[in-house]
Structure 1
Amino acid sequence: MRACTSPVLRCVVATPFLDVGGLDRVAALLARGLPLHGIETTVVHTVTGERRHSGTGDALQLDGVQVVELSAHDGQRWFKANRPDVISMHGAPDWLVAQAAEDDIPIIETLHGAHSFFNRETWPGEQLRSEKITGFVGVSELVRRQYMKANPRYPSDRIITIPNGVDTQHISFRDRTRAREWLGLRDEFLFVSLARYDMQKNTFGLVRAFSDVALACPGAHLLVAGRVDDISYFEQVRRLRDAVPSASRIHLRGNCPDAATVLAAADAFVLDSFFEGWSLASMEALFAGLPVVMSEVGGAREQVGENGSRGFVVGNPLGDPEAVDWHRISRARFERHVNHNALVEALCAIYADRNRWRRARDDLRVESTMRFSADVCLQRHAEVLKRAAARERLLSQASFPESVTNGGTRRPNPTGTAPVC
């Protein structure tokens, strides 16, 4: 793509911190890519202290992106002196929203599946806060619907869906044979789940289901790798794992700094979350050529599809994904979930068809790269930001091509021993 030589807009990409999560990686993608569409970017992160030292900010600066750390105390002065034309917001705090409103700066907020969707006590406050937001971008169609349910008074034509793309230039790929040797794998079939240990990701339900899978699939192993955000929840998961007959085939590990090696060594990916906005872990699994099994959460149907060619979408652990809230999640987190049998069946189906999935790995990788190219995602965000800066009505949902709102950014051209993390 040809870079634009004279940016016509100045945009702040605002995020709480530059960590390793999906929200921050999307913000980084926009910060790097929007200048190619005539939008000059500055990244503002609003959480000060040790969490800012993740390396993402340094990498952005090495790529020529200005990165600024701001607090509510110094934010007012900075925005007065460096007034942007528009703000692309990704979970930034209320003081930034208020400051933008005071300075009459339009805001486009990207909805990544915010936790506030699922706490009804926050809905009245969100309805007031949203009056200062020019428009919203949902990263998946389900997230858009969930937000509309939480904030029904907000004009629906100012909430659109733009599925996330993946910045392939910042994804690493590893040799499968070497990766499996490094992890000590021989003939094992390895299901991988890259997920934090907390209620949202529902690792407890996944381990319970996999204990049934292990009975039917003697060569199957499960590796869960992620940051321990809730130590008490992790201990419950560990106790469950230790109590099942297949404990030696369920491997609980911490955050893995080299996820690419784990995905290269794996045979399939699984995520049984209560909710997601648009999981980048499952996206990267598809980019690695893995079949994916996901619960019904944001982005699942766009990523995996309906026909089983990329894996399976099973029901949400609580049933209706639009009825999920924190009270129901908390009450059911250690119960047998309604999708238990479907999850077991899907994992067993992947295992039974393992030879086909192995042969299809390269084709799935190529197809995923084409469907989720970052280019169209960046183009759509640029269009929305330019319209907001010009005080124009946002593009309606119907204005986006089907490939953008239903299943990715671009359709492919049909021609053309125990693992240790």
Structure 2
Amino acid sequence: MSTQSNNSNIQNSQENSLGFYGSHGGQFVPDEMKARLNEVADCFNKYKNDKNFLAELDDLYKHFCGRPTPIFYCENLSKQLGGADIYLKREDLNHLGAHKLNNALGQLLLAKRMGKTRIIAETGAGQHGVATAAVSALYGLKCTIYMGEEDIRRQELNVLRMRMMGAEVIAATSGQKTLKEAVDEALEAFVNDPESFYVLGSAVGPYPYPEIVHHFQSVISFEAREQFQTMTNSLPDMVVACVGGGSNAIGMFSHFIKDKDVALVGAEPGGIGNKIGEHAASLVHGKESILHGFKSYVCLDEKGEVAPVYSISAGLDYPSVSPEHAHLKDIGRASYVAVTDEEAIKAFFILSKSQGIIPALESAHALAHAIKVAPNMKGKKILVCLSGRGDKDVDQISAMLKENKIQMS
């Protein structure tokens, strides 16, 4: 599938406003893909509020995921910082170690009702791939995961987990060999196989995927809002989540959006600098464009083409972002900051040493922002989405320590 916006065969669904968040979103795709996407949309709209569907999903959340995940008060870290109280929404305690299973279960149930026999997915850090492989195994469906060759190198443990559960992992070898290229190949495979269902892992892509992912990930804030009130008799003053494509963040923000006194902050991958190719902070540094069939903020080069992106975290190095996050930025309901590799690594070790919790490098970006602002927020409460655990990143961190690229401090 072409990812360029000047394809004459691409049509825009703006005439009926489907999938738009303000000026962002839509369905900028060739006709052949539009038909496939609308088939998925019809199924989603039919079942998203269906009592039997929701009962089956709730049962899986409880007995397969291990939901609800708890909120944890970081007493040691809060005292160490001497400012705001920091709390974690423990998505790292989800089965398989991340929030990705919430969405994979929901989409696989849709695929099951559509009678699809093959599951396709893309993955960056591997957590979505692992979640999709697990649910495919649960339902006995053939599963193919597309993953950038560079990400396969960085996340060998997750690749092994996918294969252990019966998934075929195909390396995307073009371009930067990371998440963008994995999405390119997954979309192409989806169009070419009418028996397939594409389980998109983040809140990106053409309609209906941003809406679908929001719907299934909103369980995070649905739980968190009630849990936090029960725990503290208040709402948090600030909610922070990392943002790559934006799935854990939109899930964490969802049920707080109406609470105008709750600040919503997304932590993007600031990488090693502000120049092209040094970061993947599309909301902070990007411009409006079209990629993978939707309109949002995109990291672009001097020619206006999709720029190379970088992050220490394989799950965050995507050159665009959820159209809903783009809209939240535009209307001023959420703010977005760029967190550097150095800040994320420091937060990785701080949480590990202060609380005995090893965060994913993705989640460490959100935690880093909380650590940065907490000293100046005395008497306030910050709730961080700990979107995943850091087991998958230990080998990468170990290699960097051995090469003296980072210090354990």
Instruction: Identify which of structures 1 and 2 has the higher relative contact order when contacts are C-alpha pairs closer than 8 Å and 6+ apart.
Output: 2
Instruction: Give the structure with higher Rg (CA).
Output: 1
TM score, norm. by length of structure 2: 0.29
